[in-house]
Structure 1
């Protein structure tokens, strides 16, 4: 007889099967923790677990701003496609005059400025309220 434990009969240890750590906090502290976790794109449990183990939360990105950047990127893609059609003398753009093309270029420039503003919001550190 051997005292060795068979590995296929062992239960895998998971977080869900481990005992939780309870943290008591005031309602406003709970709200602040949940808000910080949301800004980091994490659940409150994951946020607290990582902070508690000494990890610094980096690269906090506001997901709404990322969505806004994706929308602006789509606008730039559509405007670029329109400009490309005009430059290739596509028949669908034969009626485009110089004023139309200048308006498209102006819109591209304005959209790039808008994207730059959103990108600045994403990378600039947030001030604590």
Structure 2
């Protein structure tokens, strides 16, 4: 993704351009497709996890693809590069407050659960899911 990409680290270290885990920004994900402010990314190594933050400097939406190339997460980032919310499109149900929350569902907040989890998508989130699926289908 170049020098201005995303990383799974939480904060910048004293080494500019690196996450708190020592990963260089732009080295963990590759961009597969970009349409407007929506970027479809695939992780270079390891399990399918969305970036925690980005260095874009403006609002951005990332769609994290699985190794097989299926959209798994839609993640919203604010101007500061921090994650605002994440829509999990598929995967195992989470237990929140003793109840199973099936997918799709929305996690609110930077660290995934601190803002709560909604089991029902809002109308704008449903439209985003439809748009992402349409864009990805057209790409294929």
> TM-score, normalising length from structure 1?
0.23
Judging by fraction of residues, say which structure has more helix.
1
Judging by fraction of residues, say which structure has more strand.
2
Higher RCO (C-alpha 8 Å, min separation 6): 1
> TM-score, normalising length from structure 2?
0.22
The higher radius of gyration belongs to 1
